[in-house]
Structures are given as C-alpha cells and as structure tokens.
A and B are shown apart, each in its own frame.
Chain A
Amino acid sequence: MPTPIVLTARGLKKSYHKDRIDVPVLRGVDLDVRQGLVTALVGRSGSGKSTLMHLLATLDRPDEGEVFFRGNRIDNAPRVVRDRYRNHEIGIIFQFYHLLPELSAIENVLAPAMIGQSVWSYFKSRSENRRRAEAMLDRVGLLHRAKHRPCEMSGGEMQRVAIARALMTDPKLLLADEPTGNLDTETGQEILRLLADLKERDNLTILMITHDDEIAGSADVCWRMQDGLIHRESGVEETPAFATHAA
C-alpha cells in the first residue's frame, strides 16, 4: 500500500542563458516524493540535480512546469507563502553545510525559528525554542558542542548541526543536496545512518540527492537523472501519482 505523495513535480523545464546560448538543464522532469520514505535522486555531476532541488525548494522558478506540495501548487505562489514554505514545511541540507559563521551551533539551529517568528513571539516562546533547539542538537549528538562556532567543528559535525537546523521547525520533508558529498566515507556513513534513523523513528520524508550509486541503492525509492530527464530506477509500483491529488 503506497504512502501518500508529499511533493510532486510535473514537466519541469529549466535552462540557463548565457551570451544568447541556451543551456537546457531540465527538459521536462516529473517526480513524486512519497511520505515516510527516503527517495534518492542520482545522476552524474552537472546533470541538474541541484537545479531540480532548488526548484522544489522554490529557491528558483522553473521555465515551465509545476511543483505541488501536498497537492497545492507552490512554484508560483506569492513570495510570503514560499518563504513560509521554506521556513516551515521543508528543511534543506547542503553539501557545503552553509552554517552562519558568526553564530554558534545552537544559534544556527535557532535561526529558522528566529526567521519564522516575529521578535515578539520569539521572545514569548524563547525557552520553548531553546529547549527544542537543544533537543535537536541532542538528536544529532552534538549538545555538548552547542556553544561552538562552525569554524571550530569538523565537516561531519557541521553537517549534523545543519541537520539539526533543518529539523528545528519540525518539517514534513527534508531536502538533502549531496549531504555526504564533502565528507569522507566513514563520516558520510554516520550522516546517512543518522538520516535513516530520523526516517525510522520520526517518520521523516527525505529526498536525498547524490552522485553515489551505492547510497542511492540503499534508499526506498531511486530516481535517476540523465540528459535533463528523469526516470525511476527502483522502488514503489507504478501509480498515476497525479491522479491521487489533482482528481
């Protein structure tokens, strides 16, 4: 029995223009991400995986096509809605962590809460926020490093702080763009185990982008990206996903 679909992409097209030369990156991409599963997206470097993820996270707009989150179209939603979507509904992890260097680990984890709430409501729920941030740091096993700056941490630790930050606002969906791409195999494995654990225990939905076939193989569902197109390689039977929502 397939779980409901959280995120849907339909006919996404995106090309970059440079000096009147069109570089098509995505040429009509359809993608479904199902609740509670780890969905892997593999492809060679430069195949457009990150571009696709940016479209799914509404950090960029597609030339053509649509993105639905739980059945609602979000790619052309108003700015406020998209900001709220990124802040509240999804969590994003990057290959290069993208922690704010001026802030300590705990402050980095608190950042989404600070961004999402007004000064007033943030101060009202200050202790609550703090408790949640500490719980998230604890969840990734870094509570004892709460006061440390990113520059005082290793790559694996930074990525774990980034994961804790992504989980801060209790998102439904985690978008991870090559979370192990910048780490050694061992540390990468740790991160992957952590993500798998999150999926198991907290029933988190994860879309993981990777260029590593081995990692992709361990996911519940695996999509492969090639020449700007995408097709499913393994997992979950054929269902006209569109029907589940649009109908």
Chain B
Amino acid sequence: MYRWLLCFRYLKTRYIALASIISVTLGVATLIVVNSVMSGFSTEMHERLHGLASDVMIECHATGGMPDPDAHLREIERICGPALVGSSVSVSVPAMLGIDFRGQQIGRHVNLIGLDPVTYDSVSDFGKYLLHPENQKSASFKLRDSGYAPDRKELAAAGWSHRRDRVSEERRIEKMVAQERQMMAELHRKANGQSEPSEQDEAAANAAKGPSFGPSFSQALMPGSDGQLKPSVDPMEDQFSGIILGISTCSVRHRDDDGQVQDHYYAQPGDDVRMMFPNAASETKVINQKFTVVDLYESGMSEYDSTFAFVRLDELQEARGMIDPETGVRSVTTIQLKLAEGTDLNAIRDALRDRFPPELYAYNIQTWRDLQGPLLSAVRLETTILNILLFLIIAVAGFGILATFFMIVVEKTRDIGTLKALGASGRGVSSIFMTYGLLLGFVGSGAGLIGGLVFVHYINDIAELLEMFTGQEVFDPTVYYFTEIPTIVHPFTLVWVMCGAVAIAVLASVLPAMRAARMHPVQALRFE
C-alpha cells in the first residue's frame, strides 16, 4: 500500500524524474510517427506498385516476340487453373522519342508499349492515370477536343484547339520566313548585281531566318516513312496514330521563385512527336514514325512516368512487322496475368518457369514483387533500421532514468531506513522504486503515445506550418510519389512500442531498487 502512496508522491514532487523520462516520451513519439509514416509509405507504395504491375508478367526477350499468344494463353490457363482471372498481351520495345520543341530536337529513351486498353486495364491500373476524365473511364487513342486535366492551367488548351492553333501558327511563321527569305535574296541580288548567291550570302540568309520555329523535322535526320498521314490530309483536321506519353518524358517540373511547383510541357495533347524503334525482322531496322499525343500518363511513379509511351497494340504490331504474312497470326512480347486474390504468386511463377524453362525460351517470368523487390525491401530495411535506432534512443533514456533513480535512492536513504525501522521489508522498499519506474514508464510512454498520435494526425498541417516558418519544403511532392504524407497507425505497433518503453523504464529502475533493498537500515538511519 505504502509503495503506491509513496510512488505517487514521488511522482508528484520529483520533477527531475519527469525530466528524465522526457527522452522516453520523445523516443516513443518519434517511433510512432516514424512507424506510421513508414507503413503509410510502404502500403501506399505497395498499392501503387501492385496496381501498376500485373500479378505475373511473362516477357519475351526476342525482338520478334513470341508467336501465337493465344496458344500461350491456353497453356497458361491450363497451368494456373481457376486462379487466372485476367490476362493481357502487349508489345514492348525500346524506342527513342523525338520531340520538336521550338526548333530543338529533344530525344528521350522510352519504353514503347503497344497495348489494348481494355484488357490492359483488367490486369493493371492504366486508364486511371490518364489525364483526360473521359480517357480515365475508357481510354481511347483519338485526340479529344479539350478538357485535359481541368486543374492544370498549363494544359488548358490541350486537345484539338491546341493542335489547330499550333498548325496555323506554324503555317503563319512558315509563310513569314519564306517571304523574308525571298526578300533577302532579292535585296542581295540587287545590291551585288550577282545572279548566283555565294556561300557567304547563303550563310547570311540562314542567319536572317533567326531562331527557327521549325514547322517540321529536318528531313535529313529521318529517312523512311513519314507516318501514315498522307500529304493531302490536313493536320488541322486529322491526326496521326495516337500515342500516350508518360508525363515525365515530355515535361519538366520545377519551382518558380515563389516556390510553387510548375510544369513545362515539351509536348502536350495535340502535338506531334516522332518515335524510332526497331522492327521485328531478323535484320533489325529502325522504324521512324510520327504520332499525335492524345493524352499523358501520370502514375506518380517517376520510374514509369519517365519511360513509358503507349500506342495501340495492332498498330505497333503492324509497324514492326509482327504479323505473319501467311497465317495472319500476331506476335507479342509480353503477357500479363491477373490472378485471384490470395493466390500464391511465387508458386504460379515457378510453375510457369517449369513449363517455359529459360534454357529453351528467352522468357523472363516475374511476379510484381520480383519486379519491385529492391524498392520494397529498401523500405523494409529502412523501417527496421529506424526502429533499432529509435529503440537505442529509448535505451539511452533508460540510462538517464537509471542515473536519476540512483540519485533519488541516495536522497531517500534516511526514508528507506525509516521504512525499514517501521517494519518494511527489502522487497517492499525495492518495489517502491520498481513501481516508480513502471509509473514513470507509463506516464512517459503514454505522453509519447498521445503526442505521437496527435503528430501523426496533424502531420500534413505540421509540415505546412514548418514550411511557412522555415520556407523549406518539408515534404517535396516533386521528389516523392505523393502530394500528402501518407500515414497508417497499426495498433499492434503502438502496443509493442509502449511495452518496450515501459520495460526499459522498469529495467532501468531495477538496479537502484536493488540497492535500496540491500541498504543497511542502521547506516541508512545514520545517513546525513
């Protein structure tokens, strides 16, 4: 009984001890915040990664791809059984994207994917990452009039109106440049009285063109077919084959002077771009084709956004010559599978690998976890290391408690003697300090728990506030995949953090308590 009374009195009167558990409080709060943010992060990331990648992916490394995907699918169906709920075939080739931006050639290495929007959406998230609300519902490779990303002012004009504006502008400039050139030439002739322009003059004439707002690509750079669009067709009214670009392949994001995020688009829906990719023939040639950007793809995963470009599957197959001219069977390079929830993906993968052994087939069969393994395990490792570090901090706080408790035991020596003179046992006296440690642990970690939870709850407001005061962006959406800090609080984590902290506080009080119990009553009573 007296131990509880004395504990509470010590707790109330000895603020030094409370100071010593502030580190426990902070440690617990930090642990909770870190764990919530990390698990929010990894859950969100899992979801995204899993959404972006299909459950199982079979990639064929041969340039010609795997012939007869239907036969493959039948075989796969046989292996997977009822677990298979969806599949999609696609063609994926490395390609170079060429964007003509104010006369400058911008080249990007991309992964050109030919897909069927409907089946592709059934195995992984695709449509929902497109900018146009209609395309999000059902993706199409036709350029839409307007209404791309209503919340982005840079894309306000995107669509047919942008295309028409651009074409008419190009034509106007073309005309102007042509006129000017003619004028210059005439002037030249008049001044020199020469009929043949010298090399010098030509250079001067070129310089007079000024920065070229090139209406088209330099033809020398690109031999070969120039898209399917016939010269007779008016670009004002018609489009090339549609292409959906990953948003980072054709835009840069940066901050202006006010710290606002700003995007600059090299190409936006309505513009024409050029794709260069190998054909499927055994003697590989580069195909060079023009496409019209019909939408942009923004998944938030920079790795995807900066490398993907999507076109229609049948068009790509045709362009690459992946259709057997005799049988009409089309080849694909990738088969993606969606499996029922809870299926053991690794088992399916291994079964498929057995059926298509790598010695015979140049196939790479992977689950989405295999694909994103390094990233997922990096996050897991980071969480583990942070937990260990923070628990070490709490352990350090434990030594603080130890020191404080030794001081209190010394300070209370006479009282300990008195208690023993009144008949208290060594166990009873030591339990005062153990209980004291327990209570301190509870108070400290309880305060930490509340503080941590409040912090987690208001984490985005706090980040904003910090930004306001320091001018430093705490959570940079240009770096991370999310605009807000995601958090998930696991009750289990809370419990073990609390238990750990309380256990450390109790452990730290064991030694001082033992010392108090062992104290000789007479020496304690005589203690000055």
Contact A115 B421 (CB under 8 A): no
Instruction: Considering the complex, give the chain B residue whose CB is closest to the CB of A55.
Output: B522
B421 and A114 contact, CB distance less than 8 A: no
Q: A102-B10, A103-B5, A114-B2 are in contact. Are A94 and B525 (CB under 8 A)?
A: yes
On chain A, the residues within 8 Å of B426 by CB distance are: 79
Name the residue of chain A whose CB is nearest to the CB of B418. Answer: A98
Closest-by-CB residue of B relative to A80 is: B425
Contact call B423/A84, Cβ cutoff below 8 A: yes
- The interface centre, meaning the residue of B10, B417, B423 with most chain A CB atoms within 10 A of its CB, is B423
Taking a contact as CB atoms under 8 Å apart, the answer to whether B5 and A116 are in contact is: no
Interface residues on A, range: 20 to 34
B6 at the interface (CB under 8 A from A): yes
Which one of A85, A88, A94 has the highest number of Cβ atoms from chain B below 10 Å of its Cβ? A94
Q: Is A59 an interface residue (CB 8 A)?
A: yes
Q: Are B9 and A102 in contact, with the CB atoms below 8 A? A: yes
Q: Contact between A102 and B6 (Cβ–Cβ < 8 Å)?
A: yes
Count of chain B residues with Cβ under 8 Å from any Cβ of A? 25
- List residues of chain A with CB within 8 A of the CB of B415: 98, 100-101
**In the complex, are the beta carbons of B425 and A98 less than 8 A apart?**
no
Distance (Å) between the CB of A213 and the closest chain B CB?
25
Please name all residues of chain B whose beta carbon is closer than 8 Å to the beta carbon of A84 when the two chains form the complex.
423
Interface of A: prevailing SS: helix
| Complex contacts, B9 vs chain A, CB 8 Å | 102-103
CB atoms of A100 and B418 under 8 A apart: yes
Residues 502-528 of chain B, each 1 if its beta carbon lies under 8 Å from chain A, else 0 = 000000000000000000111001000
A136 part of interface (Cβ distance < 8 Å) = no
* Interface membership of B235, Cβ < 8 A: no
| A57 surroundings in chain B (CB, below 8 A) | 421
Q: Tell me the bound Cα distance from A115 to B419 in angstroms.
A: 8
Max count, chain B CB within 10 A of own CB: residue among A85, A88, A102, A119: A102
For the A-B complex, the count of residue pairs with Cβ-Cβ distances under 8 Å equals 75
Contact across chains for A114 and B1 when beta carbons are under 8 A apart? yes
A200 to chain B, nearest CB (A): 26
Q: B2: which A residues are within 8 A, CB to CB?
A: 111, 114-115
Find the residue from B417, B419, B426, B525 having the highest chain A CB count within 10 A.
B525
Using known A-B contacts A103-B9, A107-B5, A117-B1, determine if residue A60 contacts B425 with beta carbons closer than 8 Å. no
Q: Is B428 in the interface zone, CB < 8 Å from A?
A: yes
- Docked Cα-Cα span, A123 to B428, in Å, equals 18
Give A52-84 as 1s and 0s: 1 = Cβ < 8 Å from B's Cβ atoms.
Answer: 001001011000000000000000000110011
Indicate if A86 sits at the interface (CB-CB under 8 A): yes
Q: State whether the Cβ of B420 lies closer than 8 Å to any Cβ in chain A.
A: yes
In this complex, what residue of B is CB-closest to A122?
B1
Interface residues of A in 102-137 (CB under 8 A from B): 102-103, 107, 111-112, 114-119, 122-123
Q: Which of B414, B422, B522 contacts A54 (CB 8 A)?
A: B522
Give me 28 A-to-B residue pairs in the complex whose CB atoms sit less than 8 angstroms apart, sorted by A's number: A54-B522, A54-B525, A59-B421, A59-B522, A60-B520, A60-B522, A79-B426, A80-B425, A83-B424, A84-B423, A85-B423, A86-B422, A87-B422, A92-B421, A94-B421, A98-B418, A100-B6, A100-B418, A101-B415, A102-B10, A112-B422, A115-B1, A115-B2, A115-B423, A115-B428, A116-B423, A119-B4, A122-B1
The 3 lowest CB-CB distance pairs between A and B, nearest first, are: A87-B423, A102-B9, A114-B2
| Given A99-B418, A111-B2, 19 further pairs, Cβ under 8 A | A54-B521, A54-B522, A57-B421, A60-B520, A60-B521, A83-B425, A86-B421, A86-B422, A87-B422, A92-B421, A92-B422, A94-B421, A98-B414, A98-B415, A102-B9, A112-B423, A114-B5, A115-B422, A123-B1
